A and B are shown apart, each in its own frame.
Chain A
Amino acid sequence: MARRPAPLRRALAALAGLALLSAPAARAAEPTRVHLGATLPLTGAEARVGGFFKEGYELAVEEVNKAGGLQVGARKLPVALTLLDDTSTQATAVSLADRLVNSDKVDFLLGTYASHLIEAQSTVGEQNKVPYVNGGGGATKIYKRGFKYLFGTIAPVELLGTTLMQWIDVQQKAGRLPRPAKIALVWENTAHGKDFKKGISDFVAQSGGAYTIAVDESFALDGKDFGALLGKVKAAGVDLFLADAHLPDYITMHRQYVAAGLCHKVVSYGARGSEKAAIEALGQENVNYVLSGVWWSPQLGQKPGPAQDFVKLFQGKYPGRQPEWFQALAYESARALFAAISQAGSLDREAVRQRLSGLEMRSLLPGGTLRFPANLGNQAQNAFVVQQNLPDRTSPIVFPPDAATGTAVAANPRCAK
């Protein structure tokens, strides 16, 4: 009879053994390095973009180490980055961040990619009072929780919706688009998508009838069949097709969009459109005239400044490739953290947090300055740039006018055929 609980006793022994796996290491009094930790979705749904963020983080760390390390007080310390794969799942992102902070004893955290992962993971930074800087979570909801240790270099997606509508409004006023224009608003059912929807709907509500939303539908992240959704769009006979999707969904949805014979005067997938991966997967002829609003574009580097420096740095390491906003925001997040550490002159988390709050850094982002306004939950508010894919394989910036590198083509010429 008494042998019954044997497996339980064994279990207890296993649990006790676990404790020995990670005996608490004494924190060195005098730091010998700056230890950063991050997880990224290197496998799973967001794997492709996770890889881009990795390039950005690594570029920033290499740059600092090549310069002899990061200036912390009187000394230059080398920067080490521990990077783990969160497999694009929330529970893993949280557990691994917990591990980075409490087991690997990193000094600071850099963020993962995609809003839902950031929202889950940033709780670890807040609980352990570790500054957490990310460039991959653009949903405003993340920053409305009153977190003190969370900083975002990525402007709100809502602003993306607004910027797209501003461009459309310019075209409509110039008579290139019908008035009133019917909109199909198709958004990913995530915090990201809801922000986009809000940006567009708010603009439409204030437009005084210049626009109506005829289709308002959501879809699941990482969906495969958008047939039903596109059927609804088709039936509604709209003028403007405004969607918000992550890269894999953009590719899948647009493929089915083209095959279903759809064409609209304005086609946008939010932040997606000009990615090289998408053009390869869809074919140039099918992505022509697609508009995208992005946080950063390598064309910002045509003028001298931090953006140009970054493009040069990137191409020094990856010859023949153009950086996209993913690498730029990852790089900029790491740089913001470095700047704050240098200013604080120590690895004290509280001191670095305060420096991040007050940071005002010359930046590669549109507008040229990065700051984290506290009243907006430490989320940067840099403007978006609107790009349009053209048949000559370029995607010039067409909006706002002061950043423009090309002229927009409005009323999609594809539909004329």
Chain B
Amino acid sequence: MERFVDLAVSAILLAGLYATMAYGLGLIYGVLRVVNLAHGGVIMAGAYLGWVLHGSLGIDPYLSIPLVVLLSFGLGMAMYRVLVRHLPRGAAGGPASLLLLFGVWLVLRNVAYLLFTGNDQAIRTSYSTRSLLVLGTHVSVNRLAVLVIALVTPALLQLLLRHSHVGRAIRAVAQNADSCTLVGVDVERIYTLTFGIGTALAGLAGLLSATIFSFNPGFGSGELLKSFVVVVLGGLGSVLGTGVAALVLAVVEVFAILVLPSYLTSAVGFVMLVLVLVFRPGGLFGHRVLG
């Protein structure tokens, strides 16, 4: 029983991490139908941003959240205006946008190499290794914080999408961009904003991961793959589905160690990814667009 509680707690914490990583990818796909392969690169950039702010300016990683989010938001808008905008959207632009954003990822990785070398870095704060006792298990403070943020983020996102003018426009564009143009919504502006928000979420995920893991310029590829699994599982483009899917993935991975060697637990996610794509392309919970 104690074992079960242990595993359940770590599954929930892991789910928090997975969800934060996946929200941005899901949002961008839901609205623009573009698979943002640069997502992993932005996660890495977010991690380094937090590291630089902490290392040189002494800003606590949690206090630097607004700054990191803002900077990645700007990066995302720039990426859209300069690059993604020029591609056909939807199925026609599929492979092209995939490859284009993959190129962006390679460039981001390279810039990080040149700036910070390939060495592993970590953000170490006074509470990095501190833990609390929850239900008799030790829970790292950082992981707990990530979980809280993972719960707050979709709530804020929902608030934005449901109750603000921009949010309603985003949902409308996601459903039918052409009719939006007809009723006078500036679709390009909405796309720019959405890409910015999605990228900002990726930057946030990177910052949060950096408080838990060490990272180098190659960081982010594993995170990107996990995000894929979560987004596909949750139905491409569904924010709430993403949260639930993160939990499903985390539970399966964590409990898989009861039957599998721990080396193979991450393979479970990939197998799930393929199975869901093949058998339930709309995601585990059917297809929904933005809640």
Contact = CB atoms under 8 A, between A and B. Distances in A.
A232 B259 CA distance: 11
A248 B214 contact: yes
Given A47-B117, A47-B119, A255-B214, A224 B222 contact: yes
Contact of B254 (A43, A228, A234): A228
B128 A255 contact: yes
Interface in A201-239: 217-220, 224-225, 227-229, 231-232, 234-235
A217 B118 contact: no
Given A217-B263, A286-B129, A231 B10 contact: yes
Nearest to A43: B118
A261 B131 contact: yes
B207 interface: no
A44 B118 contact: yes
Interface in B130-147: 130-131, 133, 137-138, 140, 142-143
A231 B10 CA distance: 8
Contact of A218 (B128, B253, B256, B263): B263
A232 B253 CA distance: 13
Interface in B244-270: 253-254, 256-257, 261-263, 265
Contacts of B263: 189, 217-220
B60 interface: no
B214 A259 contact: no
A259 B119 contact: no
Given A224-B222, A252-B213, A252-B214, A259 B142 contact: yes
B262 to A, nearest CB: 4
Contact of A235 (B6, B212, B265): B6
B213 A224 contact: yes
A48 interface: yes
A227 B214 contact: no
A260 interface: yes
A225 B6 contact: no
A283 interface: yes
Contacts of B133: 261
A401 B261 CA distance: 38
Contacts of A255: 122, 128-129, 214
B128 A231 contact: no
A228 B119 contact: no
Contact of B130 (A48, A219, A235, A259): A259
B257 A232 contact: yes
B124 A231 contact: no
A43 B128 contact: no
Contact of A47 (B3, B118, B138, B140): B118
B113 A43 contact: yes
Contacts of B216: 45, 248
A269 B212 CA distance: 20
Contacts of A262: 138
Interface in B168-223: 212-214, 216, 218-219, 222
A276 to B, nearest CB: 14
A258 B129 contact: yes
Interface in A235-258: 235, 248, 251-252, 255-256, 258
Contacts of B142: 259
B7 interface: yes
Contacts of A256: 140, 212
B262 A229 contact: yes
Indicate the member of B129, B216, B263 with the most A CB atoms within 10 Å.
B129
Interface string B85-126: 000000000000000000000000000010001111010100
B14 interface: yes
A235 B120 contact: no
Interface string B1-23: 00100110010001000000000
A48 B124 contact: no
Contacts of B140: 256, 259-260
A12 interface: no
A2 to B, nearest CB: 31
A415 interface: no
A362 B212 CA distance: 46
A227 B128 contact: no
Contacts of A91: none
Centre residue among A255, A258, A281, A286 by max chain B CB count within 10 A: A255
20 contacts: A44-B118, A189-B263, A217-B261, A219-B262, A227-B254, A228-B257, A231-B10, A231-B254, A232-B262, A234-B6, A235-B6, A252-B120, A258-B129, A259-B138, A260-B131, A260-B138, A262-B138, A281-B214, A282-B129, A283-B124
Interface of A: 43-45, 47-48, 88, 189, 217-220, 224-225, 227-229, 231-232, 234-235, 248, 251-252, 255-256, 258-262, 281-283, 286
Given A228-B262, A231-B254, A281-B122, 12 more contacts: A44-B118, A88-B118, A217-B261, A227-B254, A228-B254, A228-B257, A229-B262, A231-B257, A252-B120, A259-B138, A261-B131, A283-B129
The 10 closest A-B pairs by CB, nearest first: A261-B138, A259-B140, A43-B118, A258-B129, A229-B262, A47-B118, A248-B120, A228-B262, A228-B257, A252-B214
